[in-house]
Every structure is written in C-alpha cells, then in structure tokens.
C-alpha cells in the first residue's frame, strides 16, 4: 500500500474494586508504539484511565477505548503495540484488572 492512512482501535474492559476512602485515584496510562523496518520504537500517543470510589468494597466494570489515526510515511513494514506505561495505585487494597484487550487496524491508500 502506498502512503497508507491507518486507523487503530484499542478496546478493553477494566474491572475495579475499591479498598475504600481513596484520596488518590487509580491511574493507568496506556501508550501506542510503532516500530518500522526493525528500527527504533516510536511513541504514537498516550491515553489515561482514572478511577476512584470512596466506599469500601465497591466495584465497577467499564470499557476503556481509544482510537488513533496516522499517515504512515515509512516505506516498509511497521509493527504496532499498546503497553501500560504507568500505573498509580496508592491504596494497596484497590484492584484494577485490564482484560479482553484488542487492538485492530484498518488501512487504506491515501495521504
């Protein structure tokens, strides 16, 4: 494909259980990276998920999604990945699970 336009969709489910009385919310930072032609990894962006419940043993299950579009100027093959690059959890009784993770891409000639 020549000069592709690529749209990425990241989807996940986050299950959070509160240990109670949170003054600092749980914060998860997800980052999208690309590596082209076995070269150096390049960050494409970051997205934050933040949650805090102030009652003990309360829980929520919610989706966390983001989209990213880019024109890929690299003439070769690129690999993309999403990683959790930061996790802040001051209250050791709080639990956040990330599951059912998918990263999909749609590309078309363009740019």
CATH number at residue 87: 2.60.120.40
pLDDT in tens, 80-107: 999 999 999 888 888 899 999 999 999 8
Number of domains within the chain: 1
Domain range spanning residue 27?
4-109
pLDDT for res 105: 92
pLDDT in tens, 6-23: 899 999 999 998 887 767
Residues 6 or more apart whose Cβ sits within 8 Å of residue 111: 3, 4, 5, 71, 72, 73
């Amino acid at each position: 494909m020549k000069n592709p336009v690529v749209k990425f969709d990241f989807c996940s489910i986050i299950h959070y259980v509160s240990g109670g009385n949170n003054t600092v919310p749980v914060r998860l930072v997800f980052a999208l990276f690309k590596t082209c032609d076995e070269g150096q990894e390049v960050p494409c962006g970051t997205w934050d998920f933040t949650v805090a419940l102030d009652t003990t043993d309360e829980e929520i299950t919610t989706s966390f999604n983001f989209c990213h579009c880019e024109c890929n100027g690299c003439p070769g093959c690129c690999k993309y990945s999403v990683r959790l690059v930061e996790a802040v959890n001051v209250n050791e009784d709080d639990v956040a699970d990330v599951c059912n993770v998918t990263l999909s891409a749609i590309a078309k000639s363009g740019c």
